[in-house]
Structure 1
């Protein structure tokens, strides 16, 4: 590993953790070379729970004080799934960047061992579209992260909240927040015993997608909604073979799939492509792979001169799974 791989100012914690969860370091851990141009690569994919290096958005991080950090990232001009929206970077790409930042800091700065499971409770993004325009080079945003509501368990943590400000070329491009809990493999095994292992129920058969153009997509493989007989009501279509939404095997439907379902439901509800300027989501329980998840959408604002707010809800067995409010111009 080269000496300038990561844009940080201290030794990089090793990816191996001790049995007690303390982050280890190696005798040859790199430090940043500040007097010459640095070489840029992504952070280890394991730190952001990705199987594919191509899906890692983060390139480095550094601690500013006890609870504040700066994380660097890179957004491609064209991504295989996070679609270009009217010449702008996808707001869901911003949401994924926030998600990854939380995981990265939990592992590297708060000693959460690799292998722990994370449960996201909420995730919000507010964007300034004029600073999300795609230009002639990849975007290199800088993410200022403040961690609060830190719940500690021994030498590690069991949960925290992060508030972020994302700057691009010195301008605020987005703000956001997220909160999550993390559990050990043993605890997760007990909580999810009926859903994991050899006795786990099989996922639902894949249902037919809506027409891609009706949900702002080009390919039916990227459509996560199936039609139902009722207007503004769809069944979630979870294709576990999708290389981005299901980057690695999981025992439930990931939160990013639910966010994409909310965005597609908003587009179908409005009957036209939309650029979300704000996405506020709350997750109440795991979305199971073997149970139909019904998605509904309704308009909250009706003044055509004001930004539209659409409320999207997801239910399984008549039990709320998540709610998302999307604001669009």
Structure 2
């Protein structure tokens, strides 16, 4: 996962209010503004920190997870600012996908520029309301960097009022208690993140099966656990899927250029979670695809993802 540069000059004045993107630390806020561009269409602006974000992916590239986090921050921003969802309501992911142009992840801007400007043009679709309140929403994105098309993305999520959420989560509704009960993370496997700066960024721990791992949940991670949560964050699940694909890709190291993810249940902090990966047929462009599922228990997967990868620029077999 990317890390923002905590030594930068970013301030609350240069970003949207941190509460609107569900962050406590202003240095983790990537979004800088938003405006309506038409009926249920919006433009969201962001800035990417050039230094640590680039180092995370190696080869002078931005980490694809930085794109994921940029899009993720736009969910609460638009929910609260554009659709009047009250603060304290919970946004629950149903599905998420993206596809990006890997060449545009290169950090090739002048050295005196600390940031890259990112623009997200968002179309809101299939809006479901209960009374005057939005309770489900699909967002489709065209994302550009310096005016060049960088990526597309789409997500569907539901909105739950605090009372409903507490009832659904029952004895697991208390975030502080669940954080205290989190499973101790096992030893990291470097094959999942050979470029990781610290073990915090490795989301997988080995099991006795070559293509099965235990999810590592390090609640001290400054990005995933910027504030207490009662379940494993969806962004960490996506990173675990990306890392599982890295671990079994036929031509490692690789770069994730597309993901299609369906979330079917919460991944709990206090139970072990298994991550399993299998190679799939290549896509029409000849790119490798890996299917990844996350399980807590023997039945329905909590999260199912298809990850499309290409050889990383650092890959010597490229």
- 1:98–1:177 contact (8 Å) kept in structure 2: no
SS in 2 for 1:115: coil
- Select 1:165's aligned residue among 137, 142, 153: 142
SS in 1 for 2:153: strand
Q: Are 1:132 and 2:111 an aligned pair?
A: no
- Superposition CA RMSD, Å: 2.2
* Counterpart for residue 16 of structure 1: none
Q: How many residues align?
A: 291
- Select 1:294's aligned residue among 267, 274, 277: 274
Q: Are 1:322 and 2:299 an aligned pair?
A: no
Unaligned runs of 5+ in 2: 1-11, 311-318
- Select 1:206's aligned residue among 185, 205, 216: 185
Q: Give the TM-score, by structure 2 length.
A: 0.86
CA distance in 2, matches of 1:91, 1:80: 9
- List aligned pairs for 1:75-154, cutoff 5 A: 75-79=48-52, 83-135=56-108, 136=110, 137=113, 138-154=115-131
Which structure carries more helix by proportion?
2
- List aligned pairs for 1:8-23, cutoff 5 A: none
Which structure carries more strand by proportion?
2
SS in 2 for 1:174: strand
Q: Are 1:184 and 2:157 an aligned pair?
A: no
Residues 14-72 of structure 1, C-alpha deviations (whole Å, 9 max, x = no match): xxxxxxxxxxxxxxxxxxxxxxxxx9611011111111111111000100112100011
CA distance in 2, matches of 1:161, 1:143: 15
Q: Are 1:273 and 2:246 an aligned pair?
A: no
Unaligned runs of 5+ in 1: 1-38
* Counterpart for residue 236 of structure 1: 215
Superposition deviation, residue 86 in structure 1: 2.8
Question: Which one has the largest radius of gyration?
Answer: 1
Q: Are 1:63 and 2:36 an aligned pair?
A: yes
Q: Which range moved further: 133-142 or 209-218?
A: 209-218
Superposition deviation, residue 199 in structure 1: 7.1
SS in 1 for 2:294: strand
Q: Are 1:249 and 2:222 an aligned pair?
A: no
CA distance in 1, matches of 2:264, 2:29: 27
